[in-house]
């Protein structure tokens, strides 16, 4: 047992932190909030050239053949920097899913495009009815000759507005479990995008499919048997989100402690007051718990071990800890923390957005209950 990152992972972390501090200052984050695309193609290309986007894909698909654990180092740094980019949607939601369940042909076609930064991908899963159960999927794909015709509405699809390809989870059978994942050319006729206005400006979109034709060979995985794959995608995505949020929470801790040391009232740093010290100690404890549980789930997933319980523990802990951390961080910052003059709001909004993505606390509680043998 050890919690030490390898030398390579430490180097990767340092390189990522250095680059993002330089290329992703808060002025850039703010600018991207108002930008229609919501990311910088130049920075994206730079990330591709550095091998970040292809990091986790095998070399035969133009990647670097590194592990999910290595990827988590990057995700954490991206969380720390509040990086606005379609990295999560392209690499985690889509690329890893294609690697996991795609045919050899699909992997050869799509993964090099992803690794090189040429194509942006996203996952169209959630629908207006919400819920992570097959019965929540109403978007329908009906066979028509050599194609399927997709109709319906997806919500909260990250960066769909700029995507080249969407993984669309659709109903192909009346059986409740009859779900199939399709690779849909995002520029197909009949697809309409509407950007949603969100508090974290994270470019979540409504995607309406109106008679969209998708060739049969674009089925990802097996016809009617896509739901177990969706569950795997959601679990993996949650681990990745936990890593991202750890970077976010660590920043909040460091920033809040620095503020408490710096800010003076009653002729002394407010961090010398015991109540605020205890708030800081609580934040530190919540963040440590978040890190330990997120790293554990990441390490297990990266090694291919069964880890439903560990994923659930990380997700549930973070979902509870994160709002507490931000309540305390804001309390310590005082009123400046609730303005847009201070950087804290970037983290408050993004942490909440990360928590809410692919969230269903009860689902995870059930996972834990099952592991405990509670019938």
Partner 1 sequence: MDFSFSKEQKKLRQEVRSFLEDELARELWKPACDAWIQAYDPAFTKRVAQRGWIGLTWPKEYGGQERSFIDRLIVTEEMLRYGAPAACHWFADRQIGGSILKYGSEEQKTEFLPKIITGEIYVGLGMSEPEAGSDLASLKTRATEENDCYVVNGQKTWTSGAWFTNYIYLLARTDVDAPKHRGISEFIVPMDLPGISRIPMIDITGTEAWNDVFFDNVRVPKIYMVGEKNKGFYHVLEQLAYERGGMERLMGNYPLFDALIKFAKETNYNGKALSQDTMIRHKLAQLQVEFEVGRLFMYKVAMVMDEGRAPTVEASMSKAYATTFEQHLANTAMEILGPYGSLWAGSKYVPFEGLAAHSYLGSKGYSLQAGSTEILKNIIATRGLGLPAS
Q: Which residues bind partner 1 (CB under 8 A)?
A: 1-6, 9, 69, 257, 260-261, 268-269, 271-274, 276-278, 280-282, 284-285, 288-289, 292-293, 295-296, 299-300, 309-310, 312-313, 316-317, 362, 365-366, 368-369, 371-375
Cβ nearer to partner 1, comparing 107 with 241: 241
| C-beta closer to partner 1: residue 205 or 311 | 311
CB of 275 to partner 1, least distance (A): 9
Which residue, chain included where needed, has tokens 């030490």?
A: 4
The C-alpha atoms of residue 339 and residue 26 are separated, in whole angstroms, by 14
Cα–chain center distance at 7? 26
Task: Show the beta-strand stretches assigned E in 24-178.
Answer: 121-124, 140-144, 147-158, 165-171
Shortest CA distance to 127 belongs to which of 96, 110, 111, 151? 151
Q: How far is the CB of 359 from partner 1 (least distance, A)?
A: 15
Complex with partner 1: residue 247 or 271, whichever CB lies closer: 271
Two tokens at 10?
């430490």
Q: Residue 208 or 316: which CB sits closer to partner 1? A: 316
| Structural contact between residues 92 and 121, judged by C-beta atoms closer than 8 angstroms | no
User: At closest approach, how far in Å is the CB of 214 from partner 1?
Assistant: 39
- List 341's β-bridge partners, or say none: none
Kindly compute the dihedral angle of the four CA atoms of residues 264, 265, 271, 276, in this order, to the nearest 10 degrees: -150
Alpha-carbon gap, residue 118 to 111, rounded angstroms: 10
Retrieve residue 321's tokens.
């800890």
6 versus 142: smaller Cβ distance to partner 1 = 6
The residue whose two tokens read 């290329």 is: 23
Minimum CB separation of residue 372 from partner 1 in Å reads 6
- At closest approach, how far in Å is the CB of 288 from partner 1? 6
Q: How far is the CB of 9 from partner 1 (least distance, A)?
A: 8
Task: Tell me if 153 sits within 8 A of 207, measured CB to CB.
Answer: yes
Nearer to partner 1, 28 or 317 (CB): 317
Give the DSSP H/E element, type plus range, for residue 176.
none
DSSP state, residue 89: I
* Surface-to-core class of residue 342, CB atoms within 10 Å of its CB (0-12 exposed, 13-18 middle, 19+ buried): middle
CB of 13 to partner 1, least distance (A): 12
Which lies closer to partner 1 via its Cβ, residue 85 or residue 314? 314
């Amino acid at each position: 047992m050890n919690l030490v990152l390898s030398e390579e992972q430490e180097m990767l972390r340092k390189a990522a932190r250095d680059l993002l501090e330089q290329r992703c200052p808060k002025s850039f984050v703010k600018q991207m909030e108002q930008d229609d695309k919501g990311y910088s193609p130049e920075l994206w290309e730079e990330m591709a050239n550095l091998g970040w986007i292809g990091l986790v894909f095998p070399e035969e698909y133009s990647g670097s053949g590194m592990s999910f654990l290595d990827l988590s180092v990057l995700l954490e740094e991206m969380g720390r920097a509040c990086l606005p980019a379609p990295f999560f949607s392209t690499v985690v939601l889509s690329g890893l899913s294609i690697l996991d369940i795609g045919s050899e042909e699909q992997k050869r076609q799509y993964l090099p495009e992803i690794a090189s930064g040429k194509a942006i991908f996203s996952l169209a899963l959630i629908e207006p009815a919400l819920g992570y159960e097959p019965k929540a999927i109403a978007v329908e794909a009906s066979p028509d000759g050599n194609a399927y015709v997709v109709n319906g509405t997806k919500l909260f699809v990250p960066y769909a507005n700029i995507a080249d390809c969407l993984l669309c989870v659709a109903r192909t059978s009346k059986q409740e479990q009859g779900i199939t994942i399709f690779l849909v050319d995002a520029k197909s006729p009949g697809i309409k995008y509407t950007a949603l206005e969100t508090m974290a400006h994270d470019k979540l979109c409504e995607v309406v499919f109106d008679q969209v034709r998708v060739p049969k060979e674009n089925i990802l995985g097996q016809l009617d048997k896509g739901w177990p794959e969706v569950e795997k995608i959601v679990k993996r995505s949650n681990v990745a989100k936990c890593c991202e949020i750890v970077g976010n929470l660590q920043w909040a801790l460091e920033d809040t402690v620095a503020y408490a040391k710096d800010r003076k009232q009653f002729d002394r740093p407010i961090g010398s007051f015991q109540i605020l010290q205890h708030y800081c100690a609580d934040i530190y404890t919540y963040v440590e718990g978040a890190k330990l549980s997120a790293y554990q789930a990441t390490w297990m997933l990266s090694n291919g071990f069964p880890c439903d319980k560990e994923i659930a523990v990380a997700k549930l802990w973070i979902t509870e800890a994160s709002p507490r951390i931000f309540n305390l961080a804001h309390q310590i910052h005082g009123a400046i923390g609730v303005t847009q003059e201070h950087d804290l709001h970037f983290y408050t909004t993004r942490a909440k957005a990360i928590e809410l993505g692919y969230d269903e606390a009860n689902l995870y509680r059930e996972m834990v209950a099952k592991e405990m043998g509670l019938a």
